[in-house]
Amino acid sequence: MKKRILFSLTLLAAVTAVSARQPDLVQYVNTLQGTNSDHDLTRGNTYPTTALPFGMHTWSPQTGENGSGWKYQYAKDSIRGFQQAHQCSSWTRDYCVFSLMPVTGELATGQHERAARFSHDNEIAKPHYYCVELDNGIRTEISPTERGAHLRFTFPDSGDSYIVLDGYNGLASVRIDTRANRITGWVTNGAGLRPGFRNYFVIQFDTPFYDYGTWEARENIRSPRNTSDEGRGRGAYVRFSPGVTVEAKVASSYISPEQAQLNLERELGPYQNLDETKEAAWQVWNDHLNRILVEGGSEEDKATFYSCFFRASLFSRKFYELDPNGKPYYFSPNDYQVHDGYFYTDTGFWDTFRAQFPLSCLLHPTMQGRYMQAMLDVYDQCGWLPSWSFPHEAGSMIGNHAISLFADAWVKGIRTFDPEKALEAYYHEATNKGPWGPANGRDGWRDYYLLGYVPYPEVHEATAKTLEYAYDDFCGYALAKMTGNDFYADVFARQMYNYRNVFDPATGFMRGRDRSGNWTPQEFDPTEWGGPYTEGAAWHYLWSVFHDVEGLKSLLGGDDDFVLKLDSVFTATNDFKVGTYGRVIHEMAEMKLMDMGQYAHGNQPIQHMVYLYSYTRQPWKAQYHARNVMRRMYDATENGYPGDEDQGQTSSWYVLSALGLYSVCPGTDQYVLGSPLFPKTTVTFEDGRQLVIEANGNSDENLYIKSASLNGVPFTRNYLTYDELVSGGILKYEMSSQPNRKRGTRPQDWPFSLTQAK
Ligand code: CA
């Protein structure tokens, strides 16, 4: 026993010593980054998420109406609730929401009458702590746990004090236990959720209720002294004495009320008050953010970096819970059954396969491994692989990118799943069309195999689909090849060059093509959005050949012409035609506003493009443009993103880019070089190994790589492998204000292409 205590003390001392050395990086995060958004122009479409990393339930102040996807808009001046939030994007709205709102003076229950004005001057927005003092004098504070939160409401000295529970815009059940100072219940709301999908909550107050009642949202009718109710938009209210400070511990479960109570006891039980929960949450975030320690840059750059790193650490969320023995299990949103194991959801692979998951492979391989198994569980549960999960499978956007995650994990040594089952599931995905959403199965799959492309206009967004299917088939081929599966390697290898079939040599762009092979529409304008493309134009989709840049170069006439075409993205006028959209969509407006020609970093299709210079004789242009995009398009403010953030993708672009890396082709183990942002960056991997990235002489002007070495060995390649990175050591750059026109210019320096460079 003594020995154990001694050991614990030693451990505690060691942990404290580590913490003491850790700088406070949480201070740099602004969770309001990107919140100044609306339908027509988004600067991130984010909300001030108060949560632990990848937490199951998160919290946010609410300025929008119940059910609106724009739950918090920076320009709004009143708050109508503090809600449990799960939203991926304003465009998806949310699910299983409920909110708490403190009210002073007269009781006001309805979402309009209870709204209270506030100013950003009286707001603190950090990952581990959100605080706002409303103009009416009530202070609300929130600190998160993974499946719960600690809230504190401090009321002004005069007037009654109320807390209103809003069951939101779907079915809700509430029960007030006056003896235990507790409200329990459940909510079911959100698109596509059926009865039976319940978010069970427990709200444990530390103060007795003076008075209480239930209310109904549609007519805003109150039932004083009523202790329970169930139906659409049901809520509750409780009254306290004036001037009181009330703390509430809240936790939820998708499994059962008992599990909600267990989550509350386990996660919030150890903490006597909000300050303790806040301290614990700070520690979790500070440990997390210290996984990448940047040094030597400006305070603004650090704020941008850590705000983006925070956003890169929220999705996909952990959807599993821990049973009384600590074993993971979950309620599956796909079959409404409870299963053993880990589960993750709330992400669109179309966005996040590009950089968010490749970043996770570097930082969180254990979680990534669990995720791979969870994807196969989804296949078992609903018959299809995930593509857009929110929280059930929605099949939104295009492509079958689960295979990209599988191949990427395998090539990086994350081999927690049966590759044959993954290939079988992908084969099924690629040779069928599912019942819902374009990315549930494969739209136009039969023609894709018979013609070698998806015909347009028969199939909506056909050319974008052809390009992404060809990349996915490369991933299927790569996984099959790595695991010795000749059958599937052969099947998918036949399609992975299909990008060639939508390339029109006369115009030099990827174009729509009808069944007979005619380019369509006949009148071609590379600035015209929609039609054969998804949320973009020909300028953006020309580059969607992640796996065979050399092949794309050949189509465009070789290295010089390829570079000219890349250059012309930035020198072209930034005009656009609305095309089949028929109106300006926000992505067009954002491209115009950014004023970098046809470069549209506000949306995902082109986000890898600047890194394609690293596949050419002019790799320094990747360094120039990557740095330029970091500088021009990101900051830590409410206007901090160039468009929708999208579940960590646009943030992960920045995080990787600031390390001087980007994952152009997930499914290979390569990270392509750009320009590291900070003079020194230390990445600590899960196993404790560290990679120190030193960029000597780095500055705004000295953005070019003069020379590079890894652990003392000079190299001229324009990429590093996953193993090289996670093995750790010292990656050293000499930076310069002038490009080194000799470094990285030979074919053997270039990253992976299916077609070998000559
Ligand atoms: Ca987007």
344-375 tens-digit pLDDT: 999 999 999 999 999 999 999 999 999 999 99
Q: Which two tokens stand for residue 480?
A: 């099959």
pLDDT at 2: 41
- Compute the distance from residue 604 Cα to the ligand 1 centre, in Å: 5
pLDDT at 19: 52
- Compute the distance from residue 650 Cα to the ligand 1 centre, in Å: 9
- Compute the distance from residue 26 Cα to the ligand 1 centre, in Å: 27
- Compute the distance from residue 556 Cα to the ligand 1 centre, in Å: 27
- Compute the distance from residue 330 Cα to the ligand 1 centre, in Å: 29
Q: Of 189, 207, 210, 211, whose CA–CA distance to 198 is shortest?
A: 189
pLDDT tens digits, one per residue of 587-629: 999 999 999 999 999 999 999 999 999 999 999 999 999 999 9
- Compute the distance from residue 649 Cα to the ligand 1 centre, in Å: 9
> Per residue in 714-749, is it b (16+ CB within 10 Å) or e — as a string?
ebbbbbbbbebbbebeebbbbbbeebbeebbbeeeb
Q: How confident is the model at residue 20 (pLDDT cuts 50, 70, 90)?
A: low
- Compute the distance from residue 626 Cα to the ligand 1 centre, in Å: 19
Q: Judge whether 615 and 751 are in contact, CB under 8 Å.
A: yes
Q: Which two tokens stand for residue 204?
A: 């444990």
Sheet containing strand 661-662, edge to edge, reads 661-662, 670-673, 719-721
> Per residue in 97-127, is it b (16+ CB within 10 Å) or e — as a string?
bbbbbbbbeebbbbbeebbbebeeeebebbb
Distances (CA, A) of 684 to 348, 688, 693: 27, 6, 11
pLDDT at 227: 98
- Compute the distance from residue 350 Cα to the ligand 1 centre, in Å: 9
- Compute the distance from residue 396 Cα to the ligand 1 centre, in Å: 12
- Compute the distance from residue 512 Cα to the ligand 1 centre, in Å: 22
- Compute the distance from residue 265 Cα to the ligand 1 centre, in Å: 39
- Compute the distance from residue 89 Cα to the ligand 1 centre, in Å: 9
Backbone angles phi, psi at 754, to 5 degrees: -60, -45
Instruction: Indicate the average pLDDT of the chain.
Output: 96
- Compute the distance from residue 646 Cα to the ligand 1 centre, in Å: 6
- Compute the distance from residue 585 Cα to the ligand 1 centre, in Å: 11
Q: Tell me the average pLDDT across 25-32.
A: 98
List Cβ neighbours of 321 (8 Å cut-off, separation of 6 or more).
56, 147, 253, 254, 255, 259, 263, 328, 329, 330
Q: Judge whether 731 and 695 are in contact, CB under 8 Å.
A: no
pLDDT tens digits, one per residue of 44-95: 999 999 999 999 999 999 999 999 999 999 999 999 999 999 999 999 999 9
- Compute the distance from residue 348 Cα to the ligand 1 centre, in Å: 10
- Compute the distance from residue 315 Cα to the ligand 1 centre, in Å: 15
pLDDT tens digits, one per residue of 160-188: 999 999 999 999 999 999 999 999 999 99
Distance, CA of 29 to CA of 59 (rounded, Å): 16
pLDDT tens digits, one per residue of 233-289: 999 999 999 999 999 999 999 999 999 999 999 999 999 999 999 999 999 999 999
- Compute the distance from residue 91 Cα to the ligand 1 centre, in Å: 10
Length of the chain: 758
pLDDT tens digits, one per residue of 647-678: 999 999 999 999 999 999 999 999 999 999 99
Q: How far apart are the first and last CA of the chain?
A: 69
- Compute the distance from residue 199 Cα to the ligand 1 centre, in Å: 28
- Compute the distance from residue 346 Cα to the ligand 1 centre, in Å: 15
Q: Tell me the average pLDDT across 301-310.
A: 98
pLDDT at 15: 45
- Compute the distance from residue 596 Cα to the ligand 1 centre, in Å: 18
- Compute the distance from residue 752 Cα to the ligand 1 centre, in Å: 26
- Compute the distance from residue 444 Cα to the ligand 1 centre, in Å: 23
* pLDDT tops 70 at residue 559: yes
pLDDT tens digits, one per residue of 124-151: 999 999 999 999 999 999 999 999 999 9
pLDDT at 21: 79
- Compute the distance from residue 305 Cα to the ligand 1 centre, in Å: 20
- Compute the distance from residue 279 Cα to the ligand 1 centre, in Å: 35
- Compute the distance from residue 45 Cα to the ligand 1 centre, in Å: 10
Q: Tell me the average pLDDT across 217-225.
A: 97
Residue whose tokens read 């596509």: 192
For residue 290, the tally of other CB atoms under 10 A from its CB is 18
pTM beyond 0.95, yes or no: yes
- Compute the distance from residue 440 Cα to the ligand 1 centre, in Å: 19
Q: Which two tokens stand for residue 363?
A: 């930082």
Q: How confident is the model at residue 758 (pLDDT cuts 50, 70, 90)?
A: low
**DSSP letter string, 443-468:** TTHHHHHHHSS--TTTSTTHHHHHHH
- Compute the distance from residue 118 Cα to the ligand 1 centre, in Å: 31
380 Cα distance to chain centroid: 25
At position 70, the amino acid (one-letter code) is W
- Compute the distance from residue 375 Cα to the ligand 1 centre, in Å: 23
- Compute the distance from residue 706 Cα to the ligand 1 centre, in Å: 34
The stretches of 272-364 forming alpha helices (DSSP H) are 274-289, 299-311, 349-352, 356-363
Residue whose tokens read 């600047």: 610
- Compute the distance from residue 57 Cα to the ligand 1 centre, in Å: 23
C-alpha angle 261/266/268, rounded to 5°?
A: 90
- Compute the distance from residue 603 Cα to the ligand 1 centre, in Å: 4
For residue 7, the tally of other CB atoms under 10 A from its CB is 10
- Compute the distance from residue 602 Cα to the ligand 1 centre, in Å: 7
- Compute the distance from residue 44 Cα to the ligand 1 centre, in Å: 10
pLDDT at 349: 98
Percent of the chain predicted with pLDDT > 90: 97
Backbone angles phi, psi at 540, to 5 degrees: -90, -30
- Compute the distance from residue 351 Cα to the ligand 1 centre, in Å: 7
- Compute the distance from residue 432 Cα to the ligand 1 centre, in Å: 26
pLDDT at 16: 46
- Compute the distance from residue 591 Cα to the ligand 1 centre, in Å: 12
C-alpha angle 667/672/673, rounded to 5°?
A: 165
pLDDT at 220: 96
